[in-house]
Structure 1
Amino acid sequence: MGMTIWIHTLEGRNYSQDSDDHSQICRHLDAIDETCKKIGVKSLSEFMDYTDQEYNYDEFDDEDEDVALDPETGLGYGIDDMTWFDSQEGLSSFKALKTAVASSVITGLDADEIVDLMEELDNCIAILEKSAAQAGKFHLSLIE
């Protein structure tokens, strides 16, 4: 299985881990971050949370141990173990990035990749608009 990025939100203690696959964002993260720097917004890699990846790699080291699942997340780690970012700040970066991608500022992508990337950006923007309206937080989670 390849790497991808999921977007998770947090409003109060309400953790949402439902996410579409954002493989184009993951695949082109270096070019996306370079574009973010050019347009003067926070890079998407600055919104990354690696808790899931770290947990899964550590789990392979401790295969014999039974792990209690966190009651809020249903995972082997909790909300407070993760790194969270202001949804409004993320929304600003995603909207500016979408405008840049639509203006062909980002290089190295073919037409199909641009269409797919725009769909992923639209998805993230929709999620962040809802979260920002509730003064929520979010992160991008690297999933393998």
Structure 2
Amino acid sequence: MSAILHIATLCNRQFQLHPASLRQVIVHLDGLDALCKTLGVTPISHFIDLTAVEFEEAAALTGDTNTSSSPDPETGLAYGIEDMEWLPISTGMISFEALISHLQRNRPKELNGAPLMQLVEELQRCETTLAPLEIEGGQFNLSACTSA
């Protein structure tokens, strides 16, 4: 099993789980975190919410395969907004902007061998998704789930 990350946003109790996955971000998470430390910004791993993984693991441990229970009305998921960890978009924007700027000008040793263009594209997707909600005081997380 491997983990997948998706951007989740929350603004005025409007929840959205964005469908595009951040495959390169999860693969190179350690290198990105090390680079964030070098740049003096919040590490990307700090933005990860494990609620979906915890619910998946709990269901597996209990043998609960009942998927007929009604989903949360706000999220459409098995869990609600309050179950997840949320961070100010402004905090994420600082990290994403710093990483994008640095990666466009440099080939950091922390990401040796990483496909930098794809990584920058994923980070730019984060920035583009979050920017309109920053002014409104929105919140976000990088929602982790597992795939078989």
With the length of structure 2 as denominator, give the TM-score of the two structures.
0.89
Equivalent residue letter for 1:109: G
What's the secondary structure of 1:121's corresponding residue? Answer: helix
Q: Cα–Cα, structure 1 residues 31 and 64, in superposed 2: closer, same or farther, change >3 Å?
A: closer
Indicate which of 85, 95, 101 corresponds to 2:87.
85
Q: What are the within-5 Å matches in structure 2 for residues 22-37 of structure 1?
A: 22-37=22-37
Equivalent residue letter for 1:108: N
Unaligned runs of at least 5 residues, structure 1: none
> 2:59 touches 2:65 (CA, 8 Å); kept in 1?
no
Give the superposition deviation at 1:115. Answer: 1.0
Q: What are the within-5 Å matches in structure 2 for residues 112-131 of structure 1?
A: 113-131=115-133
Identity %: 32
What's the secondary structure of 2:117's corresponding residue? Answer: helix
Q: Which residue of 1 aligns with 2:113?
A: 109
Q: Which residue of 2 aligns with 1:137?
A: 139
What's the secondary structure of 1:77's corresponding residue? Answer: coil
Give the superposition deviation at 1:64. Answer: 5.2
Unaligned runs of at least 5 residues, structure 2: none
Give the superposition deviation at 1:20. Answer: 1.1
**In 1, Cα distance between the equivalents of 2:65 and 2:117?**
45
Give the superposition deviation at 1:143. Answer: 1.9
**In 1, Cα distance between the equivalents of 2:30 and 2:102?**
15
**In 2, Cα distance between the equivalents of 1:120 and 1:50?**
20
Q: Cα–Cα, structure 1 residues 70 and 35, in superposed 2: closer, same or farther, change >3 Å?
A: same
**In 2, Cα distance between the equivalents of 1:71 and 1:47?**
24
> 1:8 touches 1:19 (CA, 8 Å); kept in 2?
no
> 1:9 touches 1:136 (CA, 8 Å); kept in 2?
yes
> 1:29 touches 1:44 (CA, 8 Å); kept in 2?
yes
Q: Deviations over 1:89-117 (max 9, x none)?
A: 1001100011122222243234xx11110
Indicate which of 72, 75, 99 corresponds to 1:97.
99
Name the structure with the higher strand share: 2
Equivalent residue letter for 1:11: C
